[in-house]
Amino acid sequence: MEYKIRDIDLAVEGSRKIGWALEHMPVLAKIREDFAKNRPLKGVKIAACLHVTPETAALMITLREGGAEVRLTASNPLSTKDDVAASLVKDHGVPVFAIHGEDRESYYENIERAASFNPQITMDDGGDLTTYLHQNGLTGGVLGGTEETTTGVIRFRAMERDGALMYPIIAVNDSRTKYLFDNRYGTGQSTIDGILRATNLLIAGSNFVVCGYGWCGRGVAMRARGMGARVIVTEVDPIKALEAHMDGFTVMPIERAAEIGDFFVTVTGDKNVIGRSAIEKLKSGAILANSGHFDVEIDKKALYDLAERVEEARPQVKRFILKDGRKIYLLSDARLVNLSAAEGHPPTVMDMSFANQALAALYILENSDKLENRVYTLPYEIDERIARLKLESLGVEIDSLTPEQKRYLENWREGT
Ligand code: ADE
């Protein structure tokens, strides 16, 4: 079997981590049970470009139980857990092409290795594999792909608009059982976790600036408030800004927030959100972190231009000593702080995200003759099924409508 990983001898620790994730992903376990019984993905080749974590390993194992042949490559060089990669190869026979900290060249060579397997289904987190297949004219045999994250969905919608999309994409990110939980509670918790592990500083009493009030930004702002910070939100969207304001956060432009912030987290999906002029206004000691998919949100070039020297302050923390004497700290090289400095989202929330991924693969297979080269959201029934399974696993019971209540909702004449 072909693979490219750091060290196969790391498999023992990787296996423990995968075991822990499997134990805490009950919805995926239920799907895996069904897959093992019915083998609905028998012989289907799936290439996945996802963060190589224990939770992703649980997804790979599930797809294999469904009969698929899978290959896994990384969606970010810093999120790869080498021990997990080793266990996937050694214990589960899954070809993995990913090494923690690999350079850009190795990252793309590994994507090429996943692509050269001629997949029928692609799974992306950020869109790099699908983009590679499109740019190299390799989309011929692909029935469809899935996309895990907001940034990737934005990329694919731009391709759809340009008529450049060569196969259908299921925007897993846009399932309610994904973005309402993974983006909000997952990013909220794992971002704070990454900042704490990297810095070991106190959040209570700090001015904590969250750039972007999408679902991820809401989660980060909510959790920072829970830790006792004074949370400031920056936004460009007037409706989201208004929501942040009414949720009780202070809203202001980044140029003003720059002057008072102690911690900054970017979660917008766009570039130079903390740009040169904001960096010029930062207080000495400011800590900058990113939880958006790509490392474009903080203007790293400006930081290097303004720096007299750059030091390794701690693992995952660079200290920029600027020419004017200020010290600015950058976490995880402005890459996803939650996956670089911490372990990403907990398995308990990835459970629903990856249940969506597994069912999206099945959906593509069962509907490929009907799907056009467009971006789709999974049908509501699938979302609802995942939510019900999650509730069941949590032991939470809910009510259902009586026939009378159903009739009332359907009958527009009946008002009083
Ligand atoms: N994205 C965020 N957290 C993740 C995790 N734990 N595994 C895979 N992808 C993730």
62 band by pLDDT with thresholds 50, 70 and 90: very high
Residues with CB under 6 A from ligand 1: 50-51, 53, 55-56, 339, 344-345, 350
Give the H or E element holding residue 145.
strand 144-147
| DSSP per position, 343-377 | --S-HHHHHHHHHHHHHHHHHHHHHTTT--SSEEP
Residue 415 has pLDDT above 90, yes or no: no
Choice from 53, 73, 84, 337 to test ligand 1 binding pocket (greatest atom count within 8 A of CB): 53
Residue 261 has pLDDT above 70, yes or no: yes
- Atom nearest to 344 CA in ligand 1: 3
Instruction: Report which of 323, 343, 322 is spatially closest to residue 332, judged by C-alpha positions.
Output: 343
pLDDT one-digit tens code per residue, 163-176: 999 999 999 999 99
CA 303-305-308 angle, to 5 degrees, is 90
Residue 416 has pLDDT above 70, yes or no: no
| Ligand 1: centre distance to CA 55 (Å) | 7
The pLDDT value recorded for residue 412 is: 81
The pLDDT value recorded for residue 84 is: 98
Question: Can you tell me the mean pLDDT for 63-87?
Answer: 96
All structural domains of the chain, each given as residue ranges with its CATH number in brackets, are 8-178+345-394 (3.40.50.1480), 185-340 (3.40.50.720)
What number of residues does the chain have? 416
Kindly give the interhelix angle for 380-394 and 347-367, rounded to the nearest 10 degrees: 150
pLDDT one-digit tens code per residue, 103-151: 999 999 999 999 999 999 999 999 999 999 999 999 999 999 999 999 9
pLDDT one-digit tens code per residue, 305-346: 999 999 999 999 999 999 999 999 999 999 999 999 999 999
Question: Can you tell me the mean pLDDT for 176-185?
Answer: 98
Strands 121-124 vs 263-266: parallel, antiparallel or unpaired: unpaired
Choice from 20, 24, 25, 190 to test ligand 1 binding pocket (greatest atom count within 8 A of CB): 190
